[in-house]
Amino acid sequence: MIALGGAIGATARYAAALRWPTAPGAFPWTVLLVNITGCAVMGALMVLIAEVWTGQRLLRPFLGTGVLGGYTTFSTYAADFHRLVDTRHAAAGLIYLAATPILALTATWIAATLTHTFIDRRTR
């Protein structure tokens, strides 16, 4: 299930990179947005799995580890940072280095909070 999900997630990330390629020396917006959206979905997913879909034992490995693990990318994030520094765009590289985890964690928290709020309202 993890491998199948990973193939789906990696294919989606690859499709995004083809659709919105990053030019040499340009800020890697596509990878940044992929990581932010993947983390947001993960935040919502973990709330749903913990509170709504509790009996689905393969859902977390398939969607969380597989699809979202394949979709998000730490290796490309690191390579993009290195590429920016190597092409003398150190300031952009440092912004990218700091912005990615901050925005990704913020997206996770916001999505989890909104999902939890939505679930609470529906169960009242």
d(CA 23, CA 37): 21
pLDDT in tens, 53-89: 888 889 999 999 999 999 999 999 999 999 999 999 9
Which residue matches tokens 């193939």? 7
For the chain, the domain total comes to: 1
What one-character DSSP code corresponds to residue 55? T
* pTM exceeds 0.85 for this model: yes
Q: Which domain holds residue 58?
A: 2-122
pLDDT tens across 90-118, in order? 999 999 999 999 999 999 999 999 999 99
